[in-house]
Structure formats: structure tokens, C-alpha cells
Structure 1
Amino acid sequence: MSYELERPDALLGTMIALEGVRDAMTIIHGPTGCKMYPADLTERLFIDRTGEVETRNPFLRTEKYFFYQPRLPCTLLDGNRLIMGSSERLKDLYSVIVKESPKLIGIINSPGATLTGENLDACVSEIPTVKIPSNDFSGLLQKGFSDCTVKIIDSLSEPCKVKKATVNIFGLSIWHLNFEDEVMELERFLSLCGIKVNCFLCAGSTADEIEDIASAELNIVVDADFGLRAAEHCRDRFGTPFINITPIGFDDTERMISEACKILGKDPAAALEDSKKWRKATASKISALEKRYIKIRGRTFSVHSTPALADSVARYMFEYLGIVPAAIQYDGDEGQYPDIGIPVSDDAWDTYADILFSSGSEIAAMLDRGMVSGAVCICDPETHPVNIFPRPLMGPIGAARLMEDVLNVLMSINNIM
């Protein structure tokens, strides 16, 4: 039986989706307990919201409803207000936010407000407003995120003329580790083939970009747990085709660009040549370690994350590097990792392995328990080192970066760092 160090819920996933829109504001209709941690988290995850380098000013938002935090103002439902409701306070906060002129407003009922049946329909303005009267609060973060992205699309987007050689990226969020680095790498890689990204849905996108989402010729789902539902919705509503490939590792990255170019009528040669360059650089480092008698193939690993991410990392490690999965544990539905003819545990917590791929908090606990010899962080919450250079997981640079981390861990295990 596995011990869950953290299990981010659907309520947080809903907040993550709305807060991933650069020029949106989100209202929490509930007590401060539903606001304080998520507000701090979303502020830290999306530091570059304004595009300017800013120093955090704790006295910036001293007015009512904000509680010294710039994100997620709340109505402070407490005592009798939580029992009897507080529609007047909600309408007052909504009017405060409308005066700030965001391009999108989100209103989320907290679990307590949902139980009392608080009505959100009284909040009306010319600004598009996404209202979440209730939520699958016991569900997973990715479920809340996916459900909310569909509501955001329906609030902002209408059918429009298709622009050739353009795509939307679905499945990234501000929750994804180093999401801004993923954005830069995917934009770079697709541009090599003359493909322009219209919108990274709820991953730093603007409301105007989401409004234009139906103009894309193709949608690319890079993480099915976060983006597949929105892609299916856009296919049904706008007729936009999509491909579902998580571009982690060289093989899947090259498959993604090849399939996208085939649909868009573009030549993938430049992108494939770029991937080949990073393949060669990576292979040379692996060869150098093997010549120094560093054992690589046959080492073991465990991975614990959402299904699409876990499967992609596991497949890359086994097929490219030859290290063997000891455990693959999923947050959410079962993944699709193929049968490789050896027993693989579904419990990373109680399985020994050389390397663990997981969140920073689980890595710290597993290292402390002596269950793994080393680890690579692939998802939030991270240990938050300072990274000045980009650190994506996706694309050719992401494939090389992930392999770099793994090789350094293997060197450490062999005590030759």
C-alpha cells in the first residue's frame, strides 16, 4: 500500500487553469483556508505574469478581500456567512474585480459554499466570466484543470477562419515543472518547420489567444491528462483535428513533429536535424561514461506521476538508456505502459530502485528512507533549485536535459562525482 505525500485535488486544478490565463482574475467564494496556500502557490508558479521583473511587495494588496496576496481574492466566508450564505459580499468583490478590467474573471465556489448552494448567477458584467458553482472536489488536480479549460474555451471562443500552419498546445499548465521553459522549447522546435503556436491553453496564454483558439489548423496534446478533454471538445465544436503525443525523449519528439508536419503539409527535415544534433551530443556522453566503466544498462528506476508523464519517462529510460523499471505508479487513471516481460510494481513508495522520477517532496522522503540511491524531479512540488538556464522536459533539449540529470545521478551512485 502506498503512502501519498500529496494529492492535489480538483479544486486546486480549477484554480490552476484560471490562474494560467495571464490577464484573468479569479475569485474564491469561500473562507481564507481555501485561498491562502493556492494564492501563494499560483504566484510562485507564474512569476512572469506581467512580463516584467518584479520584486514581491507584501503590502501591494492591503485592501479587503486580498489579505496581502495579489492573487485569488476571497469573500471570507466564516461563521454565519458560511451557513447562511453571503451573496452581497460576493457581488461586492465581483464589482471590485470588474473595475480592474481583466479580460476574464473566474468565480469558484468553495466546498462550503457549494454545500449551502450559493448562487453565482448574480455576478454579471461585460467581462467574460467563468462560474464554477460546484466541483468534483475529491477528484484529481488534472480532472479539475481539464473540466475548467473547457469552460474557459466556451466562455471566450467562437468559430473563426482557420490560419494555415498554426497550432494550439493543449496539456501544459503552470503546475507543470518549469512550464515556461516547455513553452520556449516547443515554440522553438515547431518554428523550425514554419509552424506557429497560436495558444498554449492556460499555460501563460492571454484571453485574446484563447478567443482565437478555433483558428488553429491543428491542436497538439502534449499531456493527455491535462489536455485531451479540451482537444476532444475543440474537435467536436470547431472541427479542429488533434494529435496526442507527449514529446519526452527523442523518439516521441520526432514522432510528434513528423505527424504534425504531415497534417499541416510542412517538411519536418529541419526539426529532425535539430533532434539528431541533440541525440549525437547525448550519445557521446553516454559512450564516455561507459568507457569509464560506469554501469548504466541494467540499473533500475521507479516513477510516480500522472499517467502520460510517467509512461513517457519510463519508456524513454527503458528503450533509449536500457535502465529497467522497478515500479510505475500513477496519480489518476491507469497508464498505458506496455508489458516488457518482467514484473513491474505499481507501488513506487515501497519498491527499492536506483533512481526515482517524481516530485520534490516524494524524492526527499524516499532518499531519507533509503529506498532510492538518487532521483530526478519531473513534477511539482519541486525542491525549487535556482535555474537560470532553461530546463524543459519536452522537445530535443528536454530529452538531452533529462538524460543529463540521469547520467549525473548514475555518476553519483558510482561515487565518482
Structure 2
Amino acid sequence: MNLDADGFIGTLLAIEGISDARAVMNGPNGCRGNPAYFSDRYFPRDNSLNRRSFEEPFFFGQSRIPCTYLDSDDYIHGSTQKLREILPLIAEKGDAFLAVVNSPGASLIGDDLNRLLNEARLDHVCMAFEGAAYSRPLPEGFDEAITAILRWLRLNRLPRMNNRVNLLGFSMVQKYWQGNIAEIRHLCGLMGLTVVSVPGAGSSVSELRESTTASCNIVIFPEYSRQTAEFYESEFGIPAVYSHEGAPVGFDATEAWIRTVAVATGRDPTPALDEIRTRRTHAFHRIARYHHEAGYPKGATFAVRGDSSFALPLTMWLYEYLGMMPVSVDIMAGEDPNAAGCLQGYLAANALSVAFGADPAVAGPDMYFGDDLSGKDLVLSGRCRKSVDIFNRTTGDIHFTERAFLGGAGALWILDLIFDVVKDFP
């Protein structure tokens, strides 16, 4: 059973990930419920608790992703009338950017959305997605949507500044996405770099317009941003920076990422590397102490199912740094070819090829890194000791402190999770 959201959801989340943008779904209310709740849960707006502001038609009491609630008659006669009714109401909310997105069924009706936007005199603030990446991987839909939005915005051609960068590949579907961005901003700041924008992950329309001042784009998760990076390079000459080690997960990959960024931007990596070494030393002292008190994870087994650029550095770090054994490594659809190839090559070089694509339910790992639904099934059925959610899928735990999986802070948090499990090993 495939529990993964598709590119249609990726399109909606890309729009809703812009802080002053709003997705408008042309479709039935049933298609809208989950992404509307998800957006409000993982990227709430200041007005999200004021339910009375969203009692009018098309919102149904939810602050995000209003929809035309198409019924059977609309699929015969068209959705034109409902779109004419909804667009003025949505425009009154004052968002800087709107995007009408056809649901899979609505895309078959054939309504001319661009003509309707022109008639409503909203074509200067609203674009149309007459089709989306239906049934394709979520990262593809996200990437295509961000690229289309940037192209539609007609970004200003501004002078580039050598201390400015954009971060590409973040999405609210990723666990601790805001904490991850904060950690990467911090590391960039230690190298004297300012982050101008993070398209689709918290930045505003004005920040997106300013994104062309960046000297380069730092690609963290290429699955979600390869087309976006190509757009910036072809249209504005802004080069993309990729790390061959994947995302900065764990100490080694983070240090490699810092050096890669420093070379690409001409900055001094020393302050950032010093911080990672400080965190590494802190981890060493804690591990040495817990080794005598509560055991050590060497030999413990783990399974990973995630984006290729995350699964690669996590697998390498757990295997090399802690001596844990991968028994199941699976990558999500829409993988980055380079990261996927490196991961398979790494497993083969260490006689671990049998783990690639293995079923975690059969492998029975001590720890599972993946989506929460699959993880809970493994834990409740006794086939896994601990599940670590690396995606925002369910409501999950409530946290009041900002956490991260990336950088030095992320490495320490992953160690927290692992050693909390191994202390209970017999």
C-alpha cells in the first residue's frame, strides 16, 4: 500500500509555503480537506485561529485552501459560475499572490482559467494551474510549481551580491523544516552569508522577488528543487551549489557541506567548522559517559525510507560514526539520481547491498527512520523498537522548542533519539 502524497499535493504545499500566498482549489471539498488542514498545522498564519473570518462560502470554516466545492452538475456544465463567485471573495483577503489549482477531476472539464482571471481583473495577482503533477511524486509537483510561480512573478533583474544566497529544496512536508532552515541560516551566517529567500518554505513574495540578488543557490534537497535551480541559472545566471555528500545530516556530511559552500562562495569556513567540531566534541564526551552507563548502539540495526539526499548521509553517518547496521534502505519516488547512485554504491562497497529496497517488516530493525504511519505499524506489531518520523504526515508530537535534523544541532538531536532507545537494550 502506497501512503505517499503525490505531485498534486506538492503543488498545493508549494503555494501554501509562500508566507503571503494562497492556493485556491477548483474541485470538490473532499480533495481539499487534508492539504488545508496540513498547511494550517505545519505553517499557520497569524489569522488561522480567527475562524469567524472564514465562515463565508468556499472556506467552510478553515483558513487555508478555499475551494469551489464542485458537484456532479459542475462536471457537466463547467465550473465557471463558481469560479466567478469565489475569486472576488478570495481577493478581498489581501494576499500578495493567489493560485487557482485544478483538482484531477476539474482538469478534465476544460474551463479556461486564465480567461476567467482576466475577466475578474485578477490576472496581475493570480495565476492558474490548469494541471498539476497528478500521480507523480510529491517533490516533482513541488519543484514544478515553484518554478512556474517564479516564472509567473517575472522576478526583477537586480545586481547580484557576493554575500547573498538562496536555499532551495525545503518544504513543509519535511519534519522540523523550520528548525532545519534556522540551522542552515546559522551556519551560513558564520561564513558571512545572508540567506535572501527559501522558495516554498516560509519566504514571502517580496523575498522571492529579491532572490535574484543572490550570488548562488545552495541546493539542500535537489529532489524538490532541481528545476528551480535550472530556472535561476538559465534566466538569471545564478549558479547552483550541490553537495556530493547529500544534505548536511550528521557531523561528516555537515563539514563536507560547509566546505563545499565556502569554496563556491569564496567565504572562510573556519567559524562554521569550529562550531561543528565543538558539537562533535560535546557528543564524544556524552557518548563516552553513556557507554559505561547505558550501552552503545554499535551493532544495532536500522531502516531508512526517505528522500535520497537525506537517506544517503544518514545511512553513512549511522554506519560509520556509531557502527549501526542498515538492514533496510529505501528511497522515495522522485529521487535525485546522483544521491541514489551514491547510496547504492556505498552499500555495495560495504557488502550491504541486500539492505537496498529490503522490506523493513521482514528485516525487523531496532530503529526505523521514515514516515510515522509506517513506523507506528512496525512498532505496534513488534517488528521495530523505535520509529523516528522524518516527514510531516500525521499530527505527531507537540514541541515548543525548535528542533532540526540538519547541521550540528540536528546531529545532536538524532543522537538523543538513538541513545534514548539503546539505554533500554538488554
Same fold (TM over 0.5): yes
Correspondences of 1:126-205 after superposition (within 5 Å):
127-156=124-153, 157-205=155-203
Q: Which amino acid is 2:423 matched to?
A: M
Do the aligned partners of 2:294 and 2:422 also contact (CA within 8 Å) in 1?
Answer: no
How far has the Cα of 1:370 moved from its partner? 1.4
Which one of the candidate residues 65, 79, 86 is aligned to 1:86? Answer: 79
Corresponding residue number in structure 2 for 1:31: 28
| 1:113 and 2:106 are equivalent in the alignment | yes
Q: Which moved more, 1:104-113 or 1:176-185?
A: 176-185
Do the aligned partners of 1:102 and 1:127 also contact (CA within 8 Å) in 2?
Answer: no
Q: Deviations over 1:180-219 (max 9, x none)?
A: 1112211112111111000011101100111112211011
TM-score normalized by the length of structure 2:
0.91
TM-score normalized by the length of structure 1:
0.93
CA separation in 1, counterparts of 2:401 and 2:424? 22
Which one of the candidate residues 303, 316, 341 is aligned to 2:351? Answer: 341
How far has the Cα of 1:383 moved from its partner? 5.4
CA separation in 1, counterparts of 2:82 and 2:394? 36
Give percent identity, aligned residues only. Answer: 26
Correspondences of 1:232-381 after superposition (within 5 Å):
232-245=230-243, 246-292=247-293, 294-333=295-334, 335-336=340-341, 337=343, 338=346, 339=348, 340-342=350-352, 343-346=354-357, 347-381=359-393
How far has the Cα of 1:99 moved from its partner? 2.6
CA separation in 1, counterparts of 2:125 and 2:212? 17
| 1:41 and 2:38 are equivalent in the alignment | yes
How far has the Cα of 1:107 moved from its partner? 0.8
Do the aligned partners of 1:173 and 1:202 also contact (CA within 8 Å) in 2?
Answer: yes
Do the aligned partners of 1:103 and 1:127 also contact (CA within 8 Å) in 2?
Answer: no
How far has the Cα of 1:256 moved from its partner? 1.6
Query: What is the total number of aligned residue pairs between the two structures?
Result: 407
SS of 2:254's equivalent?
helix
Do the aligned partners of 2:18 and 2:205 also contact (CA within 8 Å) in 1?
Answer: yes
Q: CA RMSD in A?
A: 1.7
Corresponding residue number in structure 2 for 1:209: 207
CA separation in 2, counterparts of 1:196 and 1:114? 41
Do the aligned partners of 2:175 and 2:392 also contact (CA within 8 Å) in 1?
Answer: yes
Q: Which amino acid is 2:351 matched to?
A: G
Q: Which moved more, 1:29-38 or 1:236-245?
A: 236-245
How far has the Cα of 1:280 moved from its partner? 0.8
| 1:68 and 2:61 are equivalent in the alignment | yes
Gaps of 5+ in 1: none
How far has the Cα of 1:333 moved from its partner? 4.3
CA separation in 2, counterparts of 1:136 and 1:187? 30
Which one of the candidate residues 216, 220, 223 is aligned to 1:222? Answer: 220
CA separation in 2, counterparts of 1:176 and 1:386? 16
Do the aligned partners of 2:48 and 2:63 also contact (CA within 8 Å) in 1?
Answer: no
Change (3 A) 1:203 1:121: same
Do the aligned partners of 1:146 and 1:230 also contact (CA within 8 Å) in 2?
Answer: yes
Corresponding residue number in structure 2 for 1:99: 92
CA separation in 2, counterparts of 1:227 and 1:287? 40
Change (3 A) 1:204 1:236: same
Q: Which amino acid is 2:78 matched to?
A: G
Do the aligned partners of 2:216 and 2:240 also contact (CA within 8 Å) in 1?
Answer: yes
CA separation in 2, counterparts of 1:178 and 1:151? 26
Q: Which moved more, 1:280-289 or 1:193-202?
A: 280-289
Higher helix share: 2
Q: Which amino acid is 1:102 matched to?
A: D
SS of 2:390's equivalent?
strand
Do the aligned partners of 1:187 and 1:197 also contact (CA within 8 Å) in 2?
Answer: yes
| 1:404 and 2:416 are equivalent in the alignment | yes
Do the aligned partners of 1:296 and 1:410 also contact (CA within 8 Å) in 2?
Answer: yes
CA separation in 1, counterparts of 2:250 and 2:286? 16
